[in-house]
Amino acid sequence: MAERKENSTNSVNRKCIVESNDLSYAIDMVGGRWKLLILVNLEKKKLRFNEIRKAMSSITERMLTLQLRELEADGLISRTVYAEVPPRVEYELTEISTELIPIWKKLCAWGARHRKARA
Amino acid sequence: MAERKENSTNSVNRKCIVESNDLSYAIDMVGGRWKLLILVNLEKKKLRFNEIRKAMSSITERMLTLQLRELEADGLISRTVYAEVPPRVEYELTEISTELIPIWKKLCAWGARHRKARA
DNA sequence: TGCGGAACTAACAAAAAAGTAAGTATGGCC
DNA sequence: GGCCATACTTACTTTTTTGTTAGTTCCGCA
């Protein structure tokens, strides 16, 4: 049987689908109201639970816990517990999430440009 | 009264808050399950309502309508209605959303890298 | 004995997002 | 007259996400 020759529309479509999957995956990882914001706070240095909480005054403890857990499960942050009393837990970016820094910087810049352009 | 001299921690904090605001703004604009995906589909060329819908087989008509309306209201897509029967409506990226192309490309690339790295 | 602090956890409630299914307008075509 | 197609609306339900409040654990300290 002869193979069907593909037209360019099909290959454009398929490429788009692959990109959509990669993008969906990325959105799953860092999407939502909080995740990127949490990561940004860890950009400069590792922080403890309460430090993140204070830095992001509008997040609740519960949400912060949930989001940190998901980020950890997805390998985007690492969590280190020090056996002290009271407990001390530090969160920091991983290699994988460090790769995102230039991306959120660009997003910030975009936001800054267009947020000003309205106001 | 003497002005209080600022320490570097304070200025780091403030910078972080400003960035967070810009980023929150950006997340508001393009966050959610669908918006970036819709924009990506418009990257190569303008599309009609049903073309977008077919390209994104998992979105419902309702959601597509709602998301398109928000994107339009936020200036991220333009909507052109042709006075024909049956109606024809075309959507395309605006200048503002075109600026996001390199950002979602990078996100795609990141997603591709780490999606493979698991599987 | 009992308070304090850090980092949670659990139970429940409210709000927001998404899905389902049916209906609308228009005018050409059979 | 009835059907087709496109691009939506509308009403309603389900699911997901967030928020609220109240514990819990551990040990040191007054």
Any domain includes A70: yes
- Taking residues A84-89, what's their average pLDDT? 90
The rounded distance, in Å, linking the Cα atoms of B97 and B53 is 20
Distance in angstroms: CA B76, C1' C28: 35
CATH of the domain at A55: 1.10.10.10
B44 to chain A nearest CA, in Å?
Answer: 9
What are the DSSP calls for A43-111, one per residue? SSS-EEHHHHHHHSTTS-HHHHHHHHHHHHHTTSEEEEEE--SS-EEEEEE-HHHHTTHHHHHHHHHHH
Report the amino acid identity of residue B94: T
User: Which residue approaches C16 most closely, CA to C1'?
Assistant: B32
Distance in angstroms: CA B28, C1' C17: 14
Q: Is A33 on the interface with B (CB under 8 A)?
A: yes
Q: Is the pLDDT of residue B119 over 50?
A: no
Size of interface A-B (CB pairs under 8 A): 107
What pLDDT was estimated at residue B112?
Answer: 94
Any domain includes A94: yes
Q: Which residue has the higher pLDDT, A90 or B118?
A: A90
Nearest by CB: B111 against A16, A26, A37: A26
Report residue A47: phi and psi, to 5°.
-135, 160
* Nearest nucleotide by C1' position to the B64 CA atom: D8
What pLDDT was estimated at residue B18?
Answer: 78
Any domain includes B1: no
- Mind listing the pLDDT tens digit for each residue in B8-59? 566 666 677 777 889 999 999 999 999 999 999 999 999 999 999 999 999 9
Any domain includes A105: yes
pLDDT band at A5 (very low <50, low <70, confident <90, very high): low
Any domain includes A15: no
Q: Is A12 on the interface with B (CB under 8 A)?
A: yes
Q: Are A75 and A96 in contact, with CB atoms under 8 Å apart?
A: yes
- Mind listing the pLDDT tens digit for each residue in A12-51? 666 777 778 899 999 999 999 999 999 999 999 999 999 9
Report the amino acid identity of residue A20: S
Q: Are A39 and A55 in contact, with CB atoms under 8 Å apart?
A: no
pLDDT band at A119 (very low <50, low <70, confident <90, very high): very low
User: Which residue approaches D18 most closely, CA to C1'?
Assistant: A63
What pLDDT was estimated at residue A75?
Answer: 96
* Closest CA in chain B for residue A9: B44
CB contact under 8 A, B24 and A37: yes
Any domain includes B3: no
> What range defines the domain where residue B101 resides?
11-116
CB contact under 8 A, A16 and B44: yes
CB contact under 8 A, B55 and A107: no
A6-43: string of b/e by CB count within 10 Å (b at 16+)? eeeeeeeeeebeebbebbbbbbebbbbebbbbbbbbbb
Give the total number of structural domains in chain B: 1
Any domain includes A85: yes
Any domain includes B2: no
- Mind listing the pLDDT tens digit for each residue in B61-110? 999 999 999 999 999 999 999 998 899 999 999 999 999 999 999 999 99
